[in-house]
């Protein structure tokens, strides 16, 4: 603002509003502030044709690259260009028409044609009488903010893409693993058919069941939204249905009380094999000689995940714990691998309760 402009504006302001403040005497502190502030500002006069700029402060001239004489007397729309959002322009026009204030970001053009994002705060200034006197527009170059937002968006997009590629890859691998597991299962079935010794054949079929449990894990991982998340509850539902279904028995009831308990895929195989051993044991040992019964599985997730598998079968013989079987050593190894606590409680003719606690 040159001195002539400033004193004209001050004069007019005094004429309209009276003395600003007798405290400041001759000095007009407001025009001094407007002259020196870093905040770009313009004043337009809506009583003149096309609401032209009557005052622009030095910060505005610095931001736009124009000389004062190039902006004075012109409507602010010279800052707009082909990239400016037409809807935003319409909103500004509507605010001006309605004599309302508005805050809006616009893509504006400098004199040299370069663009910047302008955070515009436009306010009508009314005289005491209520008539519209000026529009006062404070503006701020917020291009940097937009650049950062765009950068963040681009980085996010790149991450999403990378993740999508990785997920596809994992699903593809899962698919192949599942096919291989099916192949292994088929080979075990074929080979077991040629084994005359019943106990060796039974061991082969136990192995078959373990391989099938792995197949269920892979199917679950493949189906879940994220291949790295594994919900124990979903798995238990599948496993128990598969294993009980395979016995062909209708006198074994199943009670499931399953809260969703998501673990990382890393742990899924070990948890699945452990549960397979526990449920297989029930079906093999608890309901012998046509004894009917109930299998109850409870999954609860808090700071730890607690899985309880209970049956009301014959209970474990006392000698069982002392025996060293493959099943037992497999369960011990898996529990250690998971850092899980595994406790077994059993009473003759009352059944068996196995509790597995995983830290989350």
Chain residues binding ligand ATP by CB under 6 A are 206, 277, 281-282, 284-286, 311, 313-317, 320, 325-328, 352
Return d(Cα 218, Cα 178) in angstroms, integer.
6
Query: Within 13 Å and on the Cβ side, how many CA atoms surround 311?
Result: 28
Q: How far is the CB of 354 from ligand ATP (least distance, A)?
A: 7
Query: Which tokens hold the place of 315?
Result: 């209970």
For 109-118, give one letter per residue: b (16+ CB within 10 A) or e.
beeeeeebbb
Phi-psi region of 99 (alpha: psi -120 to 50; beta: other; left: phi over 0): left
Q: How far is the CB of 297 from ligand ATP (least distance, A)?
A: 12
Nearer to ligand ATP (CB atom), residue 273 or residue 282: 282
Q: How far is the CB of 312 from ligand ATP (least distance, A)?
A: 10
Q: Which run of H or E residues covers position 251? A: none
**Do the bridges between strand 293-301 and strand 252-258 make them parallel or antiparallel, or are there none, so unpaired?**
parallel
Q: Which does 46 bind (CB under 5 to 8 A by kind): ligand ATP, Mg ion, none?
A: none
46, 65, 293, 327: which one binds Mg ion (CB under 5 A): 327
Q: Which residue's Cβ lies closest to ligand ATP? A: 327
Residue 124's beta-bridge partner residues?
Answer: 135
Q: Which residue's Cβ lies closest to Mg ion? A: 327
**Do the bridges between strand 115-126 and strand 229-231 make them parallel or antiparallel, or are there none, so unpaired?**
unpaired
Residue 122's beta-bridge partner residues?
Answer: 102, 137
Alpha helices in the chain, H assignment, sequence order: 3-17, 29-36, 58-64, 68-71, 86-98, 143-192, 198-223, 232-247, 265-281, 326-338
Nearer to ligand ATP (CB atom), residue 36 or residue 325: 325
Q: Which does 282 bind (CB under 5 to 8 A by kind): ligand ATP, Mg ion, none?
A: ligand ATP
Residues 79 to 138 in contact with Mg ion, rule: CB under 5 A: none
57, 281, 346, 352: which one binds Mg ion (CB under 5 A): 281
Nearer to ligand ATP (CB atom), residue 61 or residue 314: 314
Q: How far is the CB of 315 from ligand ATP (least distance, A)?
A: 6
Q: Does 320 bind Mg ion (CB under 5 A)?
A: no
Judged by CB under 5 A, the stretch of 39-47, 172-180, 182-190, 275-283 that binds Mg ion is 275-283
Q: What is the CA radius of gyration of the chain?
A: 39
Q: CA-based angle 196:202:207, to the nearest 5?
A: 120
Number of Cβ atoms within 10 Å of the Cβ of 25: 8
Q: How far is the CB of 242 from ligand ATP (least distance, A)?
A: 17
Q: CA-based angle 14:16:21, to the nearest 5?
A: 35
Q: How far is the CB of 285 from ligand ATP (least distance, A)?
A: 4
Judged by CB under 5 A, the stretch of 7-15, 26-34, 159-167, 324-332 that binds Mg ion is 324-332
Nearer to Mg ion (CB atom), residue 56 or residue 307: 307
Q: Which does 137 bind (CB under 5 to 8 A by kind): ligand ATP, Mg ion, none?
A: none
Q: How far is the CB of 345 from ligand ATP (least distance, A)?
A: 11
Q: How far is the CB of 281 from Mg ion (least distance, A)?
A: 4
Nearer to ligand ATP (CB atom), residue 188 or residue 314: 314
Return d(Cα 247, Cα 12) in angstroms, integer.
98
Nearer to ligand ATP (CB atom), residue 138 or residue 314: 314
Query: Which tokens hold the place of 63?
Result: 């931001």
Q: Which does 192 bind (CB under 5 to 8 A by kind): Mg ion, ligand ATP, none?
A: none
Among 92, 107, 103, residue whose Cα is nearest residue 147 = 107
**What is the binding site for Mg ion (CB under 5 A)?**
281, 327
């Amino acid at each position: 603002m040159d001195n002539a402009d400033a004193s004209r504006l001050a004069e007019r302001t005094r004429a309209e509003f009276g003395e600003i403040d007798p405290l400041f005497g001759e000095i007009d502190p407001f025009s001094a502030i407007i002259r020196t502030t870093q905040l770009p500002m313009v004043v337009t006069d809506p009583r003149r044709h096309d609401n032209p700029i009557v005052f622009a402060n030095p910060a505005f001239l610095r931001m736009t690259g124009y000389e004062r004489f190039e902006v004075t007397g012109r409507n602010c729309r010279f800052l707009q260009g082909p990239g400016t959002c037409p809807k935003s322009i319409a909103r500004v026009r509507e605010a001006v028409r309605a004599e309302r204030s508005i805050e809006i970001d616009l893509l504006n053009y400098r004199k040299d044609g370069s663009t910047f994002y302008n955070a515009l705060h436009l306010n009508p200034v009314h005289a005491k009488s209520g008539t519209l006197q000026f529009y006062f527009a404070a503006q701020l170059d917020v291009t940097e903010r937009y650049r950062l937002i765009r950068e963040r968006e681009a980085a996010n997009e790149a991450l999403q893409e990378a993740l999508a590629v990785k997920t596809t890859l994992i699903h593809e691998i899962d698919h192949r693993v599942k096919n291989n597991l099916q192949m292994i299962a088929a080979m075990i079935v074929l080979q077991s058919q040629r084994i005359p010794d019943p106990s060796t054949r039974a061991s082969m079929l136990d192995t078959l069941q373990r391989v099938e449990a792995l197949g269920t894990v892979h199917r679950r991982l493949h189906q879940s939204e994220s291949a790295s998340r594994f919900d124990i509850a979903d798995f238990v539902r599948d496993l128990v249905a598969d294993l009980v279904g395979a016995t062909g028995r209708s006198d074994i009831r199943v009670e499931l009380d399953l809260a969703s308990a998501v673990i990382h895929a890393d742990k899924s195989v070990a948890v699945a094999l452990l549960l397979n051993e526990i449920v297989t044991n029930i079906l093999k040992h608890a309901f012998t000689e046509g004894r009917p019964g109930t299998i109850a599985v409870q999954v609860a997730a808090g700071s730890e995940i607690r899985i309880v598998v209970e049956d009301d079968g014959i209970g474990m013989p006392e000698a069982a714990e002392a025996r060293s079987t493959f099943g037992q050593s497999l369960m011990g190894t898996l529990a250690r691998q998971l850092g899980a606590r595994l406790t077994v409680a059993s009473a003759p003719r009352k059944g068996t309760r196995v509790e597995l606690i995983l830290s989350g």
